[in-house]
Structure 1
Amino acid sequence: MAIETADYEPQSRASLLPILSVNFVGTLGFSIVVPFMVFLVAQWGGNAIIYGALASTYSVFQLIGAPILGRWSDQVGRRKVLLLSQLGTMLSWIIFLTAFAMPASSLLDVDNALLGQFSLTLPLIILFLARAADGLTGGNVSVANAYLADITDDAHRTKDFGKMAMSTNAGFILGPALAGLLGATVFGEIVPVLAALAISIIASALILLGLKESHAEVLKSKPGLRNACKVFGQDTKEVYQLKGREETSNRDILRLPLMPALLTVNFLVMLGFSFFYIAFPVHAATQLSWTVTETGVFFAVLSLWMMIVQGPLLSRVSGLVPQNILLLVGGLILSLGFILLFWESSTAIYLAALLIAVGNGLMWPTFTAVLSEFAGRRLQGAVQGFASSLGAAASIFGLLAGGLLYNWAGAWVFPLAAVVIATAAMISVSFRRVNESGAEASSK
């Protein structure tokens, strides 16, 4: 395995701002369509199961693309892979826009006990193609996490990942709010999609002009990747050879301390949240009779509370409370929030949103920090890509199963999500040795 030196400048604490800005803008572009996607699916002939299948399409193709992009980021640098990922997102929004120009006449009508009643139309097919294109290049989250891991240190890791989560939730606050405002215009749902395209262009410009390479030691795994490096303009200069395997395998990742347990928690959290994300918009549109604006307000409020928790609250408690306790308490609070969604009163639902915000705000940034510690610097991109792929697998199953479960059992899907999250919280108790093992892993 050869090591190459990329164009690299030492990173300072101030360099958090560019990656946080990129993450915020990328999340904003994604979240702006969340409130009205379910309405578009219904308008073009779909039902809850089609909505779940559409959402899972992104995860199916992310499962293919994320590990490749993660390893490429170790080999050619984070910045170039982030730019490639964002250009893929831009292309997906262009494809998405063409759906509005197509007739919504039915190509296939389905009506049975298992799948329910829906019509397959050309706009729906185009939506599937758009989500596939975005998913295939959708490694931006894992690569952004790897970038942050490059420029942070052990003393600030949990706080910095909390700031990353804050930037994500800031995007989720503004995105749904903009969707509610823009979708209420006379031009309808096409305006938020145009806004998402514009935002993806801005994100690409931020990466190209404002983001410096963070990965000083770029790994060159094998000759077969030489052409891929040339595509990114990477100059190949072998410096010295390292003994050992020529490439990082999944088995190498699983041998890291506590990594199987960490990846299990990652899978379960993504599974539980997938049940929520697929079921709640359908629940809001059908059982609660919410409009696009009301759905947008809910997600904006939820994200605002998450940002508050992941900022001031997490910063205060991260140095005082052990990480495994934060994971346990956060997971149990999150589970309680999902249970409250079973009731249809506005009070219960917004109380649930508060608990979901507190629980997720404590649990997820802490988990990503722990995962980063155990990955170590050399395998950071590979581990983040592997975790994203596993999360994508959980999302694929969760989004498809969540659509089916809601079609059959309605709001009972929310208590089921609570059980899944509570299981992940119990497993996290085993991370009590995180500081010792994590410090050892990060030095490798």
Structure 2
Amino acid sequence: MKRGTLFVFATVMVDMLGVGLIAPVLPQLLLHLTGNNVARTASVFGVFGATFALMQFLCSPLLGVLSDRLGRKPVLVLSNLGLSLDYVLMAVSPTVGWLFAGRVIAGITSASMATASAYVADVTEPQERARSFGLLGVAFGLGFIAGPAIGGLLGGVSLRLPFWFAAALSLVNATYSFFLLPESLPRERRNAMVWRRANPFGSLQLLRSHPQLMGLASVSFLNTLAGVVLPSIYVLYVEERYGWNSRSIGFSLMLLGLCSGLTQAALVKPVVAVLGERKTMLLGLLCGATGMMIFGTANTSLLFVCGIPCIAAWGLAPAAAQSVLTGQVGASEQGQLQGALMSLSSIAALLGPEIFTSIYARSFHKTDQWNLPGIAWLLAGLILFSAALLMLRVTRTSPSTVERERLEGLNIVENP
């Protein structure tokens, strides 16, 4: 792994560790500030989630364009400083309004994953990008798996302690990025600042301007939308259908995390080498669809667990897709591309919870012959299958830029 990739791997992992730290205690702190009003807490927590996604939707293209103009490093540093301020604000918050302001700041500055993806595209060769994006997914997963565990322990001491710890981590991350992270985008490869590109609608011009890019971005959107089903209903579903307790749920999520990490760390590179990026995307999407179908139809706990390896293998698709997407644009447009993709992901994050929780809430009719508790999972599987068909259609006309460059490097494609 190159030095720059290693640094950004660590940056993303620490960033996600901070996000995961507050996950177990934010609802509890909100409940405390609402005077233990459960109904109000649930309503406000939903508003928090929607606000965070909305700010990402609005601001990700701006930060992407800024990273193309100023470089990746300043955006990563400012992002972590903003998150540190967010955590401090929530740690001292005396009212719900303060917490809301913190979530707005977090949504604006949460550009680390998009900018990190642009960074990886800058410093890796096209044929190595799928593996590097897979490792970036591992960093994301490791931080998010470890964070809630540590946050739960610290929350047992004080509800506000995890916020202080997360603020310290983000500050350390910003300092580390400022002094040790090398800039990946040289000045001569930077793009001019064009404000019409720095909004969600302007960023779509980039997606429309390159062959296959809009289609592949749509595949990425569908992939993200289907993935929202996991945080939306997983815990409720296994509790209700299989009677799992907190320990069983924790172990199952840990197994899912470990299998997903193994897929992205160890399988992406060899699978892409054998199948190529297009077939790897197809395999990942079909594995994800199969896993969702198993989750939705499994009538026993054992059958449900059998779907976990399929869901883990789904991780092949995003890494290969990112590699193909970044191969469609130049170095000076990588930040704009990642900002546009993050905006689309934010739309999925806004729509997905309402779609899947509403369907799930209406799917349990214990006295009805049409009782279909797994229909939300089946819908997610259908979305992934549709994404696979769309991917086949938009990539059938020509090989990706990455594949073409690889073949030219091997002298397989003749020069005209």
TM-score under structure 2 normalisation?
Answer: 0.82
Segments of 5+ residues of structure 2 without an aligned counterpart are 365-372, 409-416
Contact 1:82-1:207 at 8 Å conserved across structures: yes
1:207 counterpart = 2:177: yes
The alpha-carbon distance between structure 1 residues 180 and 433, as it changes in their structure 2 partners (threshold 3 A), is: farther
CA distance in 1, matches of 2:362, 2:30: 19
**Any idea what SS the aligned residue of 2:190 has?**
strand
Q: Deviations over 1:222-273 (max 9, x none)?
A: 5x89xx9xxxxxxxxxxxxxxxxxxx86324312110111111111111111
CA distance in 1, matches of 2:47, 2:350: 8
1:428 counterpart = 2:391: yes
1:68 counterpart = 2:65: no
Number of corresponding residues: 385
| Percent identity of equivalent pairs | 25
Bigger shift: 299-308 or 169-178? 169-178
What is the CA distance between 1:330 and its match in structure 2?
1.0
- Alignment match, 2:38: 45
What is the CA distance between 1:152 and its match in structure 2?
0.7
1:162 counterpart = 2:151: no
Query: In the TM superposition, what are the counterparts of 1:16-415 in structure 2 within 5 Å?
Result: 16-35=5-24, 45-46=38-39, 51-98=45-92, 101-102=94-95, 122=96, 126-183=98-155, 185=156, 187=157, 189-216=159-186, 217-221=189-193, 250-283=204-237, 295-342=249-296, 343=298, 345-359=300-314, 361-409=315-363, 411=373, 412-415=375-378
What is the CA distance between 1:173 and its match in structure 2?
2.8
The alpha-carbon distance between structure 1 residues 249 and 165, as it changes in their structure 2 partners (threshold 3 A), is: closer
Segments of 5+ residues of structure 1 without an aligned counterpart are 1-11, 103-121, 229-247
The alpha-carbon distance between structure 1 residues 272 and 51, as it changes in their structure 2 partners (threshold 3 A), is: farther
What is the CA distance between 1:305 and its match in structure 2?
1.1
What is the CA distance between 1:135 and its match in structure 2?
0.9
Q: Deviations over 1:91-117 (max 9, x none)?
A: 222233345x55xxxxxxxxxxxxxxx
1:13 counterpart = 2:2: yes
1:417 counterpart = 2:411: no
Bigger shift: 281-290 or 87-96? 281-290
Task: Give me the CA root mean square deviation.
Answer: 3.1
CA distance in 2, matches of 1:345, 1:21: 39
What is the CA distance between 1:441 and its match in structure 2?
9.7
Q: Deviations over 1:260-292 (max 9, x none)?
A: 111111111111112322222444566667666
What is the CA distance between 1:432 and its match in structure 2?
4.3
Bigger shift: 342-351 or 24-33? 342-351
Contact 1:161-1:369 at 8 Å conserved across structures: yes
Contact 1:257-1:441 at 8 Å conserved across structures: no
